[in-house]
Chain A
Amino acid sequence: MKSMDNKLLIRYILGKANQKESEQIAEWIKESPENLEQFSFLKAQFTFSTMPNTIFQDRRKNFVYGMMRVAAILLVPLIAGIIYLYFANNKTNDKYLEACRQTELLQEQHQGSVTYIANAGTKSLVVLPDSSIVRLNGESKLIVPQRFAADVRELFLTGEGYFEVRHHDDWPMNVRTANGVTVKVLGTTFNLSAYENDEKVKVTLIEGSIVVKEDKSNHEHKILPNQEINIDVNNSNARSASDMKLPKIKHADIYKNTGWVKGELIFDNTPMTDVVKQLERWYGVNIHVTDEDIMKYHFTATFTTESITRVLEYMKFSSRLKYDINGSDVYIQKAGS
């Protein structure tokens, strides 16, 4: 059967079709997947656009215009019905507002902050109260106040985040970490890697300007675009200045440091100790390495959207390792042992 008249379909959806029409339409729907899809689409649109209590009003307007275009000839009862719905419920839902007011009270009790978590094996995008954007890598946590203070935008990160901070001259942003390093910016794009189980904190600046401060000593280091700074984590526990290692500032390989944002897992002569950690964060698996020697290996490769199996296969081939997977546990040994 050729395409069904939308007007008739709409009457059927509204329950206004008579027996004969209903049978006809039912037959037509069952004829082909395309017909079913056309029907399903119209029905879903109608269902969601005519909700009795709307949260956001504008959707209803969309459907009214849509329906008016579709129902070419004015079917007076049809249009009247829809317009009635439109005007009758044209107010935002009071119950949600009430819930909002109550959360405001709760929020104050919880010191008004929100924690965003990206578990191992996932990535997350967070939009901050000032509309800056933070992308979180696996096994990362970002704590953000519900509203930034008037004089400073302060937040807390453990793990890895790629920050795109909106510029405000008199409103600096401070990103604190658990490793005794704070990044201070006005408006920039940078990558901050501060995992609690890493030996160092690495900040890579893509554009803008930032100051990286060591909390313990209050030493501040200014970084320029395309530079990275590596700060030894143990510095925050050092008992004297002579125990601290000087932070290293060098030219950054932006591609290598921020590949994760685009879904690229990059190893560049990376020691196996770090490879294991990165794989765990990326895939959400637990890796057990039986031969200690393996941890001294170095590894170079780039993966995009490969499965953990593919990565392990590659390692097996290139480094003569063998592996075994059991659920989310991965066991790696030397081949021939």
Chain B
Amino acid sequence: MYIPPDIEIIERLKEITLAIRSGSKEIFKSVYLAEYNNLVHFINSYLRNKQDSEDLAQETMLAIWENRETLDPNKNFRSYLYTIARNKSLNYLRDNAKRRRGNSLQESENLINTLALSSNSVEQEIIGLELQEFIERIYLSLPEKVVRTFKMSRQDGLTYKEIAKKLGITTKVVEYHISITLKALRFSLEAFNEDNNSVLKDEIYGQ
């Protein structure tokens, strides 16, 4: 049976984390090769310096490897990876601001990039990596036809009428597919939010 590549990756991200944690060099290497360009792209977006971005990307991967024993398979590996890259980038930008006295436009851009990188928007995107994996898992638990309808609506932007026509079903069936997907998402996302609510932890350490 042909299993679409996306699904296999979703199921295995946790195992990949576990494998790296126990010191598998081969698997770490594959992940390194997979994420390197993405990391450079992300870092360079804010650093605007290809060479330094590549250095930071390598430093990030090295940090992951050296601290692999602290990897948590229940936490999204990619979110963790990008959080580290982000922190290193912020440190770099702040050091840069102190060191260099470039022209004022460069200083200005440096400052703007620092602010943009430390903004909540970036955090949301990084959390989004985790959410994305979570949502894909929910899609997995639903029948293929249902998910297909839902994606045509939410991702392709088709109207119910258009979907019905394309798939040869009634709009009532389209509505039904959408509604059960929303229910599944809502139910699981509530739990996802509860987990991410570290109210208790804050309470403890805020005493």
Contacts and interface: CB of A to CB of B under 8 A. Distances in A.
Interface of A: 19, 22-23, 26, 29-30, 36-37, 39-41, 43-48, 50-53, 55-59, 61-62, 65, 92-93, 95-100, 102-104, 106-107, 114, 116-117, 121, 123-125, 127, 131, 133, 135, 146, 263, 282-284, 305-310, 325
A305 B200 contact: yes
Main secondary structure of the interface of A (DSSP, over half): helix
A52 B41 contact: yes
A56 B132 contact: yes
Given A47-B45, A52-B38, A61 B121 contact: no
B69 interface: no
B128 interface: yes
Main secondary structure of the interface of B (DSSP, over half): helix
A26 B13 CA distance: 40
B125 interface: yes
Which 9 A-B residue pairings sit nearest by Cβ, starting from the closest?
Answer: A131-B141, A95-B34, A99-B30, A307-B203, A40-B119, A44-B121, A92-B5, A103-B15, A100-B12
Interface string B190-206: 01101100011101101
Interface stretch (B90-98, B108-116, B164-172, B174-182): B108-116
Given A45-B125, A96-B9, A96-B30, A52 B141 contact: no
A197 B109 CA distance: 59
10 contacts: A44-B125, A96-B31, A98-B30, A99-B27, A102-B24, A116-B74, A124-B195, A125-B191, A125-B194, A146-B15
B144 interface: no
B1 interface: no
B34 A36 contact: no
A218 to B, nearest CB: 34
B191 A51 contact: no
B14 A309 contact: no
A95 B27 CA distance: 9
Interface of B: 5-6, 8-9, 12, 14-16, 18-19, 24, 26-27, 30-31, 33-35, 37-38, 41-42, 45-46, 73-74, 78, 105, 108-109, 111-112, 115-116, 119-122, 124-125, 128, 132, 136-137, 140-141, 151, 155-157, 188, 191-192, 194-195, 199-201, 203-204, 206-207
Contact of B38 (A51, A114, A306, A310): A51
Contacts of B151: 58
Given A22-B105, A44-B125, A124-B74, A53 B6 contact: no
Given A58-B151, A92-B6, A100 B16 contact: yes
Contacts of A114: 14-15, 18, 73
B12 A53 contact: no
A47 B42 contact: yes
